[in-house]
Structure 1
Amino acid sequence: MTKVDEFRYLGSTVQSNGDCGREIKKRVQAGWNGWRKTPAVTCDRKVFARTKGKIYKTVLRSAMLYGMETVPLTKKQEAELEVAELKMLRFALGVARMDKIRNYYIRETTHVRRFRDQAREARLG
Structure 2
Amino acid sequence: MRVNREKTVYMYCNFSNANVDVSPCPSIEGSPLKRIEEFKYHGSIVAPKASIDRDIQNRTQTAWLKWRSLYGILCDSLMPIKIKDNVYKRAVRPALLYGSECWMMRKTDEQKIHVIEMIMLRCSGGVSIMDKIRNN
Per the TM superposition, whether the score is higher than 0.5 is: yes
Alignment of 1:86-125 (within 5 A): 86-104=118-136
5+ residue gaps in structure 2? 1-9, 13-35
Aligned partner of 2:64 in structure 1 is 32
1-structure distance, mates of 2:73, 2:42: 32
1:1-57: per-residue Cα shift (whole Å, max 9, x none)? Answer: 863643333331123221110110111111111111112211110112222111111
Higher relative contact order (CA 8 A, sep 6+): 1
2:73 corresponds to which of 25, 41, 49: 41
- Which structure is higher in strand share? 2
2:48 corresponds to which of 2, 13, 16: 16
> Contact (CA 8 Å) 2:63, 2:95: kept in 1 or not?
yes
The structure that has the greater radius of gyration is: 2
- The TM-score with structure 2 as length reference comes to 0.69
> Contact (CA 8 Å) 1:31, 1:61: kept in 2 or not?
yes
Give % identity.
38
Equivalent pairs counted in the alignment come to 104
Q: Secondary structure at the match of 2:65?
A: helix
**Coordinate RMSD, CA, aligned:** 1.7
